[in-house]
Amino acid sequence: MRNLLHDMNPSIKFITVTIVMLGLAFFFNPWTPLLFFFSILVLQLVFSRINWKIWSLFMLPFVIGAFGYLWTTIVFGAETGGTVIWSLFGFDVTDEQLALALSLSFRVLAFSSLSLLFALTTDPVKFVMSLMQQLKLSPKLAYGVLVGYQFLPVLKDEFFQIQQAHRLRGAAVEKFWWQRVLGVRRVIIPMLAGAVRKAERSAFAMEARGFTGEMRKEFFRPVSIKAKDYALSAAILVIFISTSFLGSILSN
Amino acid sequence: MLKSWKLKEIVLMSLFGVVFGIVYLLFIHLGNIWAGLIGPIAYEWMFGIWFIVSIICMHIIRKPGAALIPETMAAIIEVMLGNAVGPRLILSGIVQGLGAEAAFTVTRYRHFNIFVFMLAGIGAAVFSFIYGYFVSGYAALDPGFVALMFTLRVLSGAIIAGIGGKYIGDALLATGSLRGYAIARTQPRDANA
């Protein structure tokens, strides 16, 4: 029961999540995204066993971003009319403007909850395998992406090596965070040059082992679609449709 | 379309996708904290960063698709790394890649100078703004404010992605690691044209 979201076919999950996100963009009332956000939370509580500490850590920057949306939409919002609720520093805030601002910031939260539903329950390698097997992504691209992904820890080590080499030679004195951001330039060129060489080497290795990049019919690790994948996808769509109706009713 | 591609070029794009996927994610988080202070306009002036991998890869490989594919790969890798922007990043990656690709298609993949790269940055900016207008609901904002956001994004696309992308590509060429790619086959004079 609590494995359902983890075992769901990644392509189906990906398509469902994307459709619902695009669908949410049509709603400008505050209730739809808010209700949707809480429904997704409940869905995750019931059907997944994710680490909620990590969830909150990922969510935090987006809560901050949502707050930014809230106040800019109030201050820089298009003229909507409606009754003035309060005035602050010469700005008249109307009830419609507030509703619109709340809707945009709740939308950020709804998007993030849906994204985290995907991110925290999907195995990255299985996702690419599924893209190749179900959505017919070219094996050349799919395995290319996987090679890049496998190099991630190597690139991380390389990053620290380059940084330490710079420090050892006294090349970089970085006191402030913005100096570190600008200093990215010094690190990125050697990293990319290393990446070019690694790409060449691994491409030769793949070709030497007979990788042609042609479409296959059989796979070593097949990713299948089962009835419960459609059921879960339908459940998410039902949540979206019912919250959009309920939200439209509540805001009138 | 993929028939004419060498495997090493595809793996190269993927590895660049990893490096820039991380950079992109870092800037999304930086942008979010910023955005809490000054709202969605916080992203606009640095939006060019998110288009840069298209321009670098097109500068190096010079084949149809060399702008669209790396941007999409970077987006897939961002999703694989896990983040709260989520699967729709792949969609925005495709949109941005198409925007950059459009500029090279219009110039028929013949000219690879700074103006075309800036045009590609602008193309990516325009495409991504149209997409963002819809998804983030910019329709709710004051038209003057939206125009300001649009101008900032176009400038950022031209300067950070266009000029910055060419700069990084040229710097990489100077390291000598790009022998065997289209960029190294051009005359030195052309590379600076």
Q: For the segment B142-165, what is each residue's pLDDT rounded down to a tens digit?
A: 888 899 999 999 999 999 999 999
pLDDT at position A91: 66
Total domains in chain B come to 1
In a domain? residue B1? no
Are B85 and A115 in contact (CB < 8 Å)? yes
Residue B74: partners with Cβ closer than 8 Å, 6 or more residues away: B16, B17, B18, B20, B21, B24, B53, B93
Are B134 and A25 in contact (CB < 8 Å)? yes
In a domain? residue B2? no
Size of interface A-B (CB pairs under 8 A): 212
In a domain? residue B55? yes
In a domain? residue B20? yes
pLDDT at position B188: 57
* Under 8 Å between Cβ of A68 and A81: no
* Under 8 Å between Cβ of B50 and B24: yes
Q: What are phi and psi of A103, to 5 degrees?
A: -65, -40
pLDDT at position B193: 45
pLDDT confidence band for B36 (50 / 70 / 90): confident
Q: For an interface test with A, give the residue of B5, B18, B38 to mutate (most A CBs within 10 A).
A: B18
Residue-wise pLDDT tens digits, B97-136: 999 999 999 999 988 999 999 999 999 999 999 998 888 8
Contacts of A82 in chain B (CB under 8 A): none
Output the DSSP codes for B13-66.
HHHHHHHHHHHHHHHHHHHHHHHHHHTTHHHHTTGGGGGHHHHHHHHHH-STTT
pLDDT at position A82: 66
Are B11 and A148 in contact (CB < 8 Å)? yes
Please identify among residues 95-114 of chain B the ones whose CB lies closer than 8 Å to any CB of chain A.
Answer: none
> Hey, is A131 helix, strand or coil?
helix
In a domain? residue B42? yes
In a domain? residue B87? yes
Say whether residue B8 is in contact with chain A using an 8 A CB cutoff. Answer: yes
Q: What are phi and psi of A94, to 5 degrees?
A: -95, 165
Say whether residue B7 is in contact with chain A using an 8 A CB cutoff. Answer: yes
- Strands A91-94, A84-88: pairing is antiparallel
- Listed range (A208-212, B55-59, B92-96) with the worst mean pLDDT: A208-212
Minimal CA separation from A149 to chain B, in Å: 7
* Under 8 Å between Cβ of B64 and B9: no
Distance CA B31, CA B42 (A): 6
pLDDT at position A80: 64
Residue ranges making up the domain that contains B163: 7-191
pLDDT confidence band for B41 (50 / 70 / 90): confident
Q: What are phi and psi of A93, to 5 degrees?
A: -100, 120
Q: What is the SS3 string spanning B61-114?
A: HCCCCCCHHHHHHHHHHHHHHCCCCCCHHHHHHHHHHHHHHHHHHHCCCCCCCH
Per residue of chain A (252 residues), give pLDDT as tens. Answer: 788 899 999 999 999 999 999 899 888 889 999 999 999 999 999 999 889 999 998 888 888 888 887 887 777 777 666 666 666 666 677 777 788 888 888 998 999 999 999 989 999 999 999 999 999 888 989 999 999 999 999 999 998 998 888 888 877 666 777 777 677 778 889 999 999 999 999 999 999 998 888 877 788 888 889 999 999 999 999 999 999 999 989 887
pLDDT at position A221: 83
Please identify among residues 53-92 of chain B the ones whose CB lies closer than 8 Å to any CB of chain A.
Answer: 56, 69, 73, 76-77, 79-88, 90-91
pLDDT at position A79: 65
Q: For an interface test with B, give the residue of A24, A138, A145, A147 to mutate (most B CBs within 10 A).
A: A145
Asked if the ipTM is above 0.90, the reply is no
